[in-house]
């Protein structure tokens, strides 16, 4: 399972509280996302985006991981969104296509989060409408 995360409000933190506060927000998010099993892989993807690869993990178990870390983010007052996809090795989809769909799910979660005032949201790639997938 692959997850992409995007922090909400990093630019506003940098603009209103300074870059030190923004850097601290990134460090805190990194620590939370990096938490997990020794064979999970997490990385800062750039700016306010992160990626996490959860080997040998179903999408349902990936959602349990989201629920656990989302609770921590909410307790710390951090707004974050995520996209999630389970890569199926028996599928004709390439890893690149799974990556694209996960990124698309994360971007759609970000859009929905903004519409809801910064709510933390996760969106499964398989729940994306076909019209959105084909348009991207």
Query: Residue 85's beta-bridge partner residues?
Result: 2
Which residues are part of the catalytic machinery? Answer: 48
Collect all residues with Cβ–Cβ distance below 8 Å to 52 and sequence separation of at least 6: 2, 3, 5, 33, 36, 40, 41, 42, 43
CB atoms within 10 A of CB 46: 8
């Amino acid at each position: 399972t692959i997850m992409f995360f995007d922090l909400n409000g990093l630019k506003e933190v940098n603009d209103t509280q300074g870059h030190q506060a923004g850097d601290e927000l990134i460090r805190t998010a990194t620590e939370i996302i990096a938490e997990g099993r020794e064979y999970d892989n997490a990385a800062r993807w750039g700016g306010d985006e992160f990626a996490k690869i959860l080997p040998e993990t179903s999408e349902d178990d990936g959602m349990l991981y989201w629920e656990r870390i989302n609770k921590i983010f909410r307790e710390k007052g951090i707004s974050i969104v995520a996209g999630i996809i389970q890569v199926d090795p028996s599928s004709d989809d390439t890893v690149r296509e799974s990556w694209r769909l996960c990124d698309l799910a994360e971007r759609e979660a970000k859009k929905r989060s903004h519409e809801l005032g910064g709510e933390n949201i996760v969106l499964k790639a398989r729940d994306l409408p076909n019209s959105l997938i084909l348009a991207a």
